[in-house]
């Protein structure tokens, strides 16, 4: 009986540690769109798009950015790619997101629903030039947030 009781703390420790060892999927279904740059995927993981910033609640184009993001990924299966940083300070997964061959991060910028972070703000810059190109297209076409400039 002594041996069994001494195993209980060990088993409890393993059960508590095991969930944190499970890595998030590379492909998942979007179960909720939070705003223009954040989604929730199956498994209840929050995902923040790398390299871009969409308007926050109460800011101009917040609703449009959120709706366009919902149009792009809502209820769909997405593929996700990491860069340097796995999670942000809020515990959200940081990812480049793709749906049906579309690079979602860049598409939101191209349509004028998000801006690109400066290269030196974060270390995750694999597609920074591509995102800047999309932003230049939106600015030239005066789309979304660039319409008022």
Catalytic residue chosen out of the listed positions 4, 32, 46, 48: 48
Catalytic residue chosen out of the listed positions 32, 56, 59, 63: 56
Closest-CA residue to 114 (of 82, 72, 85): 72
Nearest-angstrom CA–CA distance, 83 and 100:
20
Catalytic residue chosen out of the listed positions 92, 95, 107, 110: 92
119 is catalytic: no
81 is catalytic: no
121 is catalytic: no
Assess contact for 45 and 24: CB atoms under 8 A: yes
Which positions are annotated as active-site residues? 48, 56, 92
């Amino acid at each position: 009986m002594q041996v069994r009781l001494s195993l209980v703390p060990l088993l409890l420790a393993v059960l508590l540690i095991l969930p944190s060892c499970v890595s998030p999927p590379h492909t998942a279904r979007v179960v909720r769109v939070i705003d223009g740059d954040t989604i929730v995927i199956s498994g209840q993981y929050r995902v923040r798009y790398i390299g871009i910033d969409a308007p926050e609640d109460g800011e101009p184009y917040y609703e449009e950015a959120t709706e366009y993001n919902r149009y792009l990924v809502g209820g769909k299966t997405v593929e996700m790619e990491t860069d340097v940083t796995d999670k942000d300070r809020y515990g959200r997964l940081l990812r480049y997101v793709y749906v049906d061959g579309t690079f979602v991060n860049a598409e939101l910028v191209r349509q004028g629903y998000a801006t690109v972070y400066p290269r030196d703000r974060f270390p995750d810059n694999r597609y920074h030039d591509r995102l800047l190109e999309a932003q230049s297209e939106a600015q030239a076409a005066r789309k979304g947030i660039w319409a008022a400039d």
